Structure 1
Amino acid sequence: MKNVSTRRPTFLEALIPIVFLIIIISVSILKFGADPQIPLLIATIVAVLLGLKLGYKWDEMEQGMISTINSSMQAILIQMIIGIIIGTWILAGIVPAMIYYGLQILSPGIFLPSAAILCAIISVATGSAWTTAGTVGIALLGVGQGLGMPLPLVAGTIISGAYFGDKMSPLSDSTNLAAAVTEVKLFDHIGHMLKTTSVSFAIALVLYGIVGMKYSGSALDTAQINQLLDALKQHFYISPILLLPPILVVSIVVMKVPAVPGLLCGGILGGIFAMIFQKATLASVIIVSHYGFNSETGFEAMDSLLSRGGLDSMMYTVSLIIVAMCFGGVIEKIKVLEVIAEKLLIFTKTRGSLVLTTALSSIFCNFTMADQYLAIVVPGRMFRKSYEEKHLKLKNLSRVLEDSGTLTSSLVPWSTCGAFMMTTLGVHPFAYLPFAFLNLINPIISVIYGYTGFTMEKDDEIIEIEEKKIEEKKLIENL
């Protein structure tokens, strides 16, 4: 039963939990190096206190949190299965094989586009732009430097490729989060993103090809790459047949099999391939599925790249999703998002302006809240209703959130992603920003699609319901 004494917050009151979140996230991450979960939890407490002041009962706000968490449960299940897939696919040599064959595409004349494609392949395989940049990215920096290329140019290329793969990988936490926040099926979300991201990546590759022509006469120093290739070959059985599980999983997706059973098949295949081709025991498959793969070859680049995965590795992201959903559930329940969204609605009269406002809000969150997850969660909850009112499928919203929130996160020096890339690659984000072509182009492409309507899919069910309501109203009026 609704509490009749509740009231809507004023605009200034609605800003309290948002501003508080910005402040505590910024201080916690930038000054203390903390993760965002506890700051988010504290911000949730502030939102609850505001809700109590507005007349809401704890039970109402708790139900808001539970309802929002329930909406993300499929994504949480998928995230846990993905952890298993990563572990078994590394143990089976599937991920090492993808990396091994990906390294073969390097060529002196087309080093920059080759490097971008390589980073994209590895990031799709691992689901992590951070892992890609921190391993193969470092090796590519050395190769690029040997060719006489400016480090910011090579770093921008690495960032573009890594974030293309991260964004398009079903193993990526940000991809799963965007799908969860908007309640869109994971592979529907990925398929819809491909329509903007593939165009942006193609443009980026052309630009890298043009810029890289200046260095086409240089000799390629492949010592670091060959060292990694030798290490992979030494510790894993490498064969094209190991690429079969990813191909089968993609085929399952194309056949519209639900994500959970489809991905479970991928994990099971990984375990079977590990026992057949890498001579792993059933016990090791079970342990790696739970705790992840631990590479101890002594070759730091390979150990860092392959020591990951497992069910446990996903608990960080699962906890982040749950806490973020708690915050989103409370501010949605007490109508904070509704009040703020109403103020922004003056800028969202058309479909294009709605997409533009969503993109700018995600970028603003990256610069103010210093975390890409919040750049997905906050605008995702804020603009959901507006997309529905314009009869747009929610996968349009999830796509814009990633086109802008995920891809600009590494360009902000004080954000978690920007700080990681700056430390790992040794190049300031503002230095590689002009060369991170994909990250700059993708938000623009997304906004262009919004204004032109290209691939902006309508929700036919909502349209049909509203048309029926109009017909019923006319019928009543005629009577």
Structure 2
Amino acid sequence: MAKRKPYFYEAFISIAGLIIIMGISLVKFNADPHIPMLLGSAIAGVVAVKVGYDWKYIEQGMIEGITQALQSIIILTIIGVLIGVWIQAGVVPSMIYYGFNILSPKIFLLGALLICSITSLATGTSWGTVGTVGIALMGIGQGLGIPAPVAAGAIISGAYFGDKMSPLSDTTNLAPAVAGTDVFTHVRHMLYTTGVTYVIVIILYLVLGFKFGSGEMTFSTINEIKEGLEAQFFISPLLLIPPLVVITCVALKAPAIPSITFGVILGAVEAAIFQKADLGMIITAGYSGYVSETGSQLIDELLTAGGMTAMMYSVSLTIAAMMFGGILEKTGQMEALMKPVLKRLKSDGSLIAATIASCVATNMMLPEQYISIVVPGRMYADAYRERGLHPKNLSRALEDGGTITSVLVPWNTCGAFMKSILGISAVAYGPWAFLNYINPIVSIIYGFTGFTIEKIDKT
């Protein structure tokens, strides 16, 4: 059968099939998204065969899709090693320890925002931050008489800022992989929208803090964590050198892989010097992750993390997602889906707004954070290239619209997790999670004004 361009309804079958399978799997059975994504690839493959493509061509599309993400897969793997080694070295514990020192009663909400930001930046995970430090801060907020939804909003805003801006985060690596840029370029470009948003959020929480933070501060939980960290690790400002070096590399536009690798080496050296760790302990932490055994549940949950193996969840999901996107792109299904939408997008601003709106819609229809990055990313990639827009504009829009809005949807996996951990529904804390809904608005404004929207350098 001669191959032809797919019709809209045929391409829609691929997307609708993925939506149905993913929705049933995640919502009804609480399953991981990997197998549903593979099944979605199978549906897309069947549609491609119907249109007239042979298996070899479809397989080539999958391989090409995965190839686009190989750099990010390598970076994710090294980051897993980095986290394990940095915890073993006391780097992450030192960052958390000094983060707690900024807490005071009148600026509790601002302090909660900053502590969760620092913790997520250090660990690359919002869930881990909320599930450990966030629980402690909720207890302190309750003692201050701060409404629980307000405290939860500050905690979530900080956790998602750190998650979004940390090169250690899986979503921060997934977005540039889908868009076709590198993680450091992506992080630097996000500073324009997320940085402005963060300043606005700081002001809002500072004002709210003076309104609510008039009670007596109870430091017992914080002191317990700090004492536990001191008992298990040697804490020193010198242990902040590795993250400062990596941040400097980002600022100097150094390549991601050697920069992160250098951070691993510095962490290994400090682990040997300050924590008296031998080579076997360092290698084990790099591969399997660090296992904390202090006896404190909060500390052990926070610091049992990292390792190359811990990144295999994100690596395998990235591979599965890029297979799906590769089939849609190679067989023309992506083009068929986007034609009706793109006809109505007359400017760069409308394209960016459509991208962010699609991410939000995906978070509601396919309630999984990763999917809100992958599906819109693959759908709009060609449109950005045709307009001469640098891929970092797409990767920023994916994070501004996908990563941080997932937690605002009660039935999304992120919203459900926060409800189970903090005991507050997304409906209640949503209005107070300022960063999570102001950031997309700022990004759309940037898109329509053209501010920081960069074109591809033809040279």
TM-score band by shorter chain is: over 0.9
Residue number in structure 1 paired with 2:18: 21
Query: 8 Å contact 2:58–2:327 — kept in the other structure?
Result: yes
The answer to whether the aligner puts 1:232 opposite 2:229 as a matched pair is yes
Q: Return 5+ residue gaps in structure 1 as ranges.
A: 465-479
Residues 393-412 of structure 1: pairs in structure 2 closer than 5 A: 393-412=390-409
Matched residue SS, 1:347: coil
What SS does the corresponding residue of 2:216 show, helix, strand or coil? coil
CA RMSD for the aligned pairs? Answer: 1.0
- Taking the aligned partners of 1:350 and 1:40, their CA distance within structure 2 comes to 32
Aligned 1:264-413 pairs, distance under 5 A: 264-413=261-410
Select the residue among 112, 115, 121 that pairs with 2:112.
Answer: 115
Q: For residues 136 and 79 of structure 1, what CA distance do their matches in structure 2 show? A: 24
Aligned to 1:258: 255
The aligned residue for residue 193 of structure 2 is 196
Give the TM-score, by structure 2 length. Answer: 0.99
State the Cα distance separating 1:268 from its structure 2 match: 1.2
In structure 1, give the amino acid aligned to 2:424: V
* Aligned position for 1:476: none
The answer for the alignment partner of 1:155 in structure 2 is 152
Distance 1:334 1:39 in 2: 20
Q: Deviations over 1:405-434 (max 9, x none)?
A: 001011111111111111111110111000
Map Cα deviations across residues 91-116 of structure 1 (whole Å, 9 max, x no partner). 00000000000001111011101110
Distance 1:418 1:8 in 2: 39
Q: Deviations over 1:311-361 (max 9, x none)?
A: 100011000000000011111112111111111113311111111111100
Equivalent residue for 2:6?
9
Corresponding residue number in structure 2 for 1:96: 93
Counterpart of 2:217 in 1: which secondary structure?
Answer: coil
Alignment-derived partner of residue 58 in structure 2:
61
* Displacement after TM superposition at 1:271 (Å): 1.0
**Equivalent residue of 1:105, what SS?**
coil
Between the aligned partners of 1:90 and 1:156, the Cα distance in structure 2 is 27
1:276 is aligned with what amino acid?
A: I
Q: Please give the per-residue CA displacement for 1:225-268, whole angstroms capped at 9, x wherever unaligned.
A: 11101100111000000001111112222232211111111111
Identify the residue that residue 77 of structure 1 maps to in structure 2: 74
- Retained in 1: the 8 A contact 2:185–2:253? no
CA–CA distance in 2 between the matches of 1:421 and 1:85? Answer: 27
One-letter code of the match for 2:214?
A: G
1:438, 1:104 → 2: CA distance?
A: 23
Aligned pair count reads 459
Kindly provide the amino acid, as one letter, of the partner of residue 240 in structure 2: L
User: What secondary structure sits across from 1:280 in the alignment?
Assistant: coil
1:158-237 to structure 2, matched below 5 A, reads: 158-237=155-234
- Does the CA-based 8 Å contact 2:175-2:373 persist in structure 1? yes
* Alpha carbons 1:122, 1:165 under 8 Å: kept: yes
CA distance in 1, matches of 2:302, 2:116: 12
CA distance in 2, matches of 1:18, 1:92: 45
1:437 counterpart residue number: 434
Letter in 2 for 1:441: I
Do the aligned residues in 1 keep the contact of 2:289 with 2:304 (CA within 8 Å)? yes
Which amino acid in the other structure matches residue 381 of structure 1? R
- 1:249 counterpart = 2:246: yes
Q: 1:347 touches 1:354 (CA, 8 Å); kept in 2?
A: no
Structure 1 residue runs of 4 or more that deviate by more than 3 Å after TM superposition: none
Deviation readout 1:69-122 (Å, 9 max, x if unpaired): 111100000000000000000000000000000001111011101110110000
| Letter paired with 1:255 | L
Greater C-alpha radius of gyration: 1
Distance in 2 between residues matched to 1:161 and 1:217, nearest whole Å: 22
Structure 2: state its 5+ residue gaps: none
**1:7-57 deviation digits (Å, cap 9, x = unpaired):** 122111111111111111111111111100000001111111111110001
> Which of 409, 422, 425 is the matching residue for 2:422?
425
Q: Secondary structure at the match of 2:101?
A: helix
Aligned AA (2:239): L
* Alpha-carbon displacement from aligned partner over 1:148-174 (angstroms, at most 9, x marks no partner): 111111111111000000000000000
Cα distance in 2 for partners of 1:371, 1:301 equals 26
> 2:253, 2:158 → 1: CA distance?
27
Q: Distance in 2 between matches of 1:110 and 1:289?
A: 37
- 2:294 aligned partner, one-letter code: T
| Code of the aligned partner of 1:190 | V
Corresponding residue SS for 1:348: coil
SS at match of 2:242: helix
For 1:399 and 1:212, the matched residues in 2 are separated by 30
- Once the two structures are superposed, residues 443-470 of structure 1 have per-residue CA deviations (whole angstroms, 9 ceiling, x without a partner) of 0000000000000011131xx7xxxxxx
Secondary structure of the residue aligned to 2:346 is coil
Q: TM-score, normalised by structure 1?
A: 0.95
2:143 match: 146
Distance of 1:267 and 1:460 partners within structure 2 = 33
Q: What percent identity do the matched residue pairs reach?
A: 52
Deviation track 1:195-232 (CA, whole Å, cap 9, x = no partner) reads: 10011111111111111211232111111111101100
Verify the 8 A CA contact 1:347 1:357 in the aligned structure 2. Answer: no
Shift of 1:297: 1.0
